[in-house]
Amino acid sequence: MDMVLAWNASLSILLLLAGWAIQRRDKEMDNLKDEQHRLQILINRTREEVAKEYVTKQEVHADINRVLDRFDRLEEKLDRMIGGHRGA
């Protein structure tokens, strides 16, 4: 009878330790999930801030095209001015 009691006590302690380890691992997993969620929020905020400060390729191309158009108009005006003085 003492062997059965010792066996039951051993199994109970073993199951208690296994349950404690599983519960601890679950808490760690929950903490990791919370941390992952927090980091995802920070990444999203960073993306929003970067989008506010930097321009897209399309915006850069549009700005460059506007500058080039102005240079073309200036060049045309210079050509007219130079051409007008030569003919006089």
User: Over the chain (88 residues), what is each successive 10-residue block's mean pLDDT?
Assistant: 92 96 96 97 91 87 96 94 70
Cα separation of 31 and 9, whole Å?
33
What is the Cα–Cα distance from 53 to 42, expressed in whole angstroms? 17
pLDDT of residue 70: 97
Instruction: List all residues 6 or more positions away from 63 whose beta carbon is below 8 Å from its beta carbon.
Output: 55
Would you state the pLDDT for residue 87? 53
CA distances (Å), origin 76, targets 27, 50, 62, 63, 64: 73, 39, 21, 20, 18
Q: What is the pLDDT of residue 37?
A: 97
